[in-house]
Amino acid sequence: MTTETLFTPSRLGAIAVKNRIAMAPLTRSRAGMDGVPSPLAARYYAERASAGLLIAEATNISRQARGYAWTPGLYTDAQVAGWKQVTDAVHAAGGRIVVQLWHVGRMSHTSLQEGGAAPVAPSALQAGGKVFTETGFETPSMPRALELHEIAAIVEDYRQAALRAQAAGFDGVEVHAANGYLLEQFLRDSTNRRTDGYGGSIENRARLTMEVVQAVAGVWGADRVGVRLSPLSTAIGDTPLDSTPQETHAALASRLGALGLAYLHVVEGQMHAEDGTGRLFDNQALRQAFGGAYIANNGYDRQRAIAATASGHADMVAFGRDFIGNPDLAERLQHGLPLFNAPAAGYFGGGAEGYTEFSVAQAA
């Protein structure tokens, strides 16, 4: 009997995976306000270790990087110790786990910043959408534009977080250059109005992402580093698209591919152009420009994932919400079992309920 490609082993650079199912990074806001992962996190991730790859939730590289309450970090020794418990539990369960390195940029609030400081961004343009603070969802605060001399320090923060990720026992790292956060704010011409070497041309706008990835690869080796992109995402509010998303992201993907990275992780989608042409975004063009392993993400179900990996559209498929209520998702997908739709009320904040435990009422 043939085995569907989705359920067969593979490799992402130096990372061996037992199947082509990835757990997408999911912000659950269960850490302490000091950024230390909850003791429940070790159980949460270990329960999902049957996935080929766990991509741990977006993790702040610095105090300044934080934009949501109760999210974990990788900039203190206590945070490293908290994550070490997670990676030990995952490895004991036979899993592989990388951590997503995160700086939110303008998607933050002064109440989350040290001393009530303004968030930072490529340009002083206020974000739409909402951020999750200790008092609930709030409009992001007005950011200030980063000074040119400050950018090198942010690259160094990423490098230091990569070193701490090694100390915490991860199998690699994913650089978060998607979803309207700092690196994508630099990449998109709609959020980057700079006139120095980090603004203007596509090459200049991609410069910070490239510097960050190269710094992180210098710690880990390129074959244990992935990058996440989301060319069409407006997931965090009214974040406008780049004016030429296909050309911009293809150029970046090509530069990233030349580094020999472990994988490119793309939040796929379609674009309806403002001029009414209905032009579709070509995700495969990004894959071809990158030339390495490609993780597809965004609304995949069992049949679409099987088809994507069988046809060569993707080397791996990432699932998000389905993993919240189905820790054994890999097995459920393989055997065609029904999935539990976890209530959205338990997504952010709280304790075990809706995280590692579901009540009888919820399961019903």
Q: What is the mean pLDDT of each run of 10 residues along the chain (364 residues)?
A: 85 98 97 96 98 98 96 98 98 98 97 97 94 92 98 98 98 97 96 98 98 98 98 75 94 98 92 55 95 96 97 97 96 95 92 85 48
Residues forming the active site: 181
Q: What superfamily does domain 5-363 belong to in CATH? A: Aldolase class I (3.20.20.70)
Name the strand (E) or helix (H) holding 245.
helix 245-257
Q: Would you state the pLDDT for residue 237?
A: 62
Cα–Cα distance for residue pair 90/84, rounded to 1 Å: 10
- Name the strand (E) or helix (H) holding 323: helix 321-325
The SS3 of residue 70 is coil
B/e letters for 37-50, b = 16+ CB within 10 Å, e = fewer, are bbebbbbbbbbbbb
Predicted pLDDT of residue 278:
58
Query: pTM of the full predicted structure?
Result: 0.95
Element (H, E) at 297: strand 294-297
Q: What is the DSSP string of 34-64?
A: TSPPPTHHHHHHHTTTTSSEEEEEEEESSST
Q: Cα 307 from chain centroid?
A: 24
pLDDT at 276: 46
| CA dist., res. 362 & res. 254, Å (int) | 45
- Dihedral sign, Cα of residue 260, residue 16, residue 41, residue 168: negative
Please list, residue by residue across 166-198, b when 16 or more beta carbons sit within 10 angstroms of its beta carbon and e when fewer do: eebbbbbbbbbbbbbbbbbbbbbbebbebeeeb
Q: Give domain limits for the chain.
A: 5-363
CA 152 to chain centre: 22
Res 275: pLDDT: 44
Q: What is the pLDDT of residue 62?
A: 98
For residue 59, which amino acid is it? T
Q: Identify the CA nearest to 86 among candidates 44, 142, 35.
A: 44
How are beta strands 53-60 and 144-145 bridged, if at all?
Answer: unpaired
